[in-house]
Amino acid sequence: MPPPVAAPDPDRPRRLTAPATRGDLVFRGVLRVAGYSVFAIMGLIAFFLLFRGTKALNAAGWHFFTESKWNPQSHVFGIAAALPDGILIALIALLFSVPVSLAAALFISEYAPQRIRPALVSAVDLMAAVPSIIYGLWGFFCLQPQVIGLISWTSRHFGFIPFLKVRTGDYGTSYTSSTFIAGLVVSLMITPIITSLSREVFSQAPQGEREGAYALGSTRWGMVRSVVLPFGRGGVIGAVMLGFGRAMGETIAVALIISPAFKFTGHIFEAGGNSISSLIVLRFSESDGLSLSALMAAGLALFAVTLVVNVLAGIVVSRSRSGASTAD
């Protein structure tokens, strides 16, 4: 009699794929090298900035993070003004871009007719491809003159709120080249990114849950509110954080709009402000020695901030339902 055949263990995972061929192994190795190269490049960038900025960090010490002035020749320099101003510009940009981006993403994925959706997606992608200098020139020559009246009216009627007050300086009251206008221009630049990522997340909402909501008598907005938005919450948060990181690094548009000032006031309508990225681009050509090292140290601080924001965004997305379904 033939020996009895053991019954398969139901708890043992079954192999559903064929054995890997030589081509599969090569392809897997290429992908692994490409993935690790991203970490290697990021590490090399951080090492380069740290190596070139060590001289300035040693000269300034912890005052590099608490000093507002920028005078490397006198060993008095720091990012205490540039970093908060950059964060404020990014927050203003998010204030305007997030509602518009979410509304556009929901319209494209849920409400737009099927025949025009590809055109809308292409238009959003085209906005992301426009160079930042074009946005900066448009903001300086077209947008700024149009919003000065609104800024003046808001400051006169709501000036009792500290950050909306415009104080009279040495050259009178000026509403141009302010942090608010720079943030408004940057908001146009990050809107396509947040819109594209949010639309992709909303489109992944399970079809079965959509149909279940309709079967229970829900309207389209009810389905969006009870299915699409909860499903894409984590992805939207991640998209917003990625947009924040992008806004922190915008350079040319901010440099064209804002008037450099090494003092953080928090008054968003006043002329003057700064950001680390605009500081680097405006001072790089005239810097050498310690000044160049100081700019590298400032770039290292900006690199660290944007890296932390992007890592947190990745964690939020991976822990969300939309991120888990994409990974599966």
Distance from CA of residue 301 to its chain's centroid?
A: 16
Tell me what pLDDT residue 4 has.
58
| Alpha carbon of residue 40 to chain centroid | 22
pLDDT of residue 171: 41
Do you know the residue count of the chain? 328
CB 195 within 8 A of CB 271: no
* Bridge partners of residue 260, in order along the sequence: 273
Rg of the chain on CA atoms, in Å: 25
- DSSP structure string for 101-144: HHHHHHIIIIIS-TTTHHHHHHHHHHHHHS-HHHHHHHIIIIIH
Q: Can you tell me the distance from the alpha carbon of 276 to that of 295, in angstroms, rounded to the nearest whole number?
A: 9
Residues in the chain where the model's pLDDT stays below 70: 1-18, 168-174, 320-328
Phi, psi (rounded to 5 degrees) for 3:
-65, 145
Q: Are 321 and 234 in contact (CB under 8 A)?
A: yes
Rounded CA-CA distance 166/160 in Å is 10
The CA distance from 112 to 106, in Å, is 9
